Amino acid sequence: MTIIDSNEITTAPSPAQQMRRRALRHWGFLIGGGVLGLIILMAVLAPFFAPHDPYAQDLSQRFLRPVFLGGSWEHPLGTDHLGRDYLSRLLFGAQISLTIGFVTALISGVIGTTLGVAAGYFGGRVDTIVMFIITVRLSMPVVLVALAVVALFGGSLTTVVLVLGFLLWDQFAVVMRTSTQQIRNQDYVTSAQALGCTTTRIILTEVMPNILNNLIVIITLEMAHAIILEAALSFLGLGVQPPLPSWGLMIAEGKDMLFFEPFLITIPGIALFVLIFAINLLGDGVRDVTAPENRN
């Protein structure tokens, strides 16, 4: 008679447990996720945290310096050229950057994943057509096209999100195509086909769960990409319009005082850098944690 030691069974960690363990040991994942979570929290709670109304002007209080440059705690990060509280604008600005990042990634993710999975799963003519669309998209200069289209429609948060969403799907398509190709001949996909499952069902229940980790990595990459591009467009005056506190716009408004009050561009610039850095760390972390064999 064989005796099964129950301890032996429970001590072997399941893949999910292994993943959780890798996640808790991965510094980039923890720091990136933590900082991003903090920024999201600050953005959501901006109405409660912000010491002042981000739009309230006070021309007698212009260009006050931050507290670490000899300013007062009344305006911890100083004030801008219209006397608006810089900390409050920074907090509300996080809402704009995050909205741009999430919504753009959602739109471009849906477009790119649909194209990529279709190309990878069906192959043949579908693949040829999708590859052609990707090639055409890649050959168009993103910044130039985005600027031109925003100029035609008039700059606003909605325009910027839509334009970027319809431009930044290429990486989703490329990566989802390759990932789908890699698993479409796996046994579990073949057996689902043999069982007579519908294509929709196979894609949703067999393909998607297995390419989800790559999808998350691309989502983080493209979120970061969209946030940087929005800031650049707003900086050039063809993105989010004043008086909204977009970080790119804050840098543009501070540019005139570049030589006298560099904190006006340093603060929103560092905010942008930290946000992008955190998102990238999280993305790299997700890749390492979910597929440690892909690390190089």
Partner 1 sequence: MQYGPAAFNTAKVILMLRFLLKRLGLAALVALTVSLISFSLLFLAGDPAVALAGEAATEEDIEAIRTQYGFDRPIPVQYVAWLTGAFTGDFGNSYYFNTPVIDLISDRLPTTMQLGLAGITFALLLAVPLGVIAAIRPNSLIDRFALFISVVGQAMPTFWFSLILIVIFAVNMGWVPVSGSGTWQHFILPTIVLGYFATPGIMRLTRAGMLEVLRADYIRTARAKGLNPAKVLFKHALRNAAIPVVGLAAVQLGFMLGGSIVIESIFALNGAGLLAFESINRNDFPVVQALILLFSLIYVLLTLLADLLNAWLDPRIRVA
User: Count of alpha carbons within 13 Å of 202, Cβ hemisphere only?
Assistant: 22
The distance from CA 8 to its chain's CA centroid, rounded to whole angstroms, is 42
Residue 197 vs 274, nearer CB to partner 1: 274
Contacts of residue 218, Cβ cutoff 8 Å, sequence gap at least 6: 109, 112, 171, 172, 175, 176
- Least distance CB 233 / partner 1 (angstroms): 9
Tokens 């993103």, residue located:
142
Residue 202 vs 264, nearer CB to partner 1: 264
- Least distance CB 221 / partner 1 (angstroms): 9
Residue 244 vs 276, nearer CB to partner 1: 276
- Least distance CB 258 / partner 1 (angstroms): 6
Helix (H, G, I), strand (E, B) or coil at 72: coil
Q: What are phi and psi of 58, to 5 degrees?
A: -150, 100
Name the site residues for partner 1 (rule: CB under 8 A): 132, 135-136, 138-145, 147-149, 151-153, 224, 228, 231-232, 235-238, 248, 251, 255, 258-259, 262, 265-266, 269, 272-273, 276-277, 280-281, 296
- Least distance CB 170 / partner 1 (angstroms): 12
- Least distance CB 145 / partner 1 (angstroms): 6
- Least distance CB 53 / partner 1 (angstroms): 26
Residue 64 vs 228, nearer CB to partner 1: 228
Q: Could you give the C-alpha distances from 166 to 27, 105, 163, 203, in angstroms and in order? A: 34, 10, 5, 23
Contacts of residue 83, Cβ cutoff 8 Å, sequence gap at least 6: 57, 58, 59, 60, 61, 62, 64
Contacts of residue 285, Cβ cutoff 8 Å, sequence gap at least 6: 23, 26, 28, 29, 30, 32, 33
Residue 48 vs 259, nearer CB to partner 1: 259
Residue 77 vs 192, nearer CB to partner 1: 77
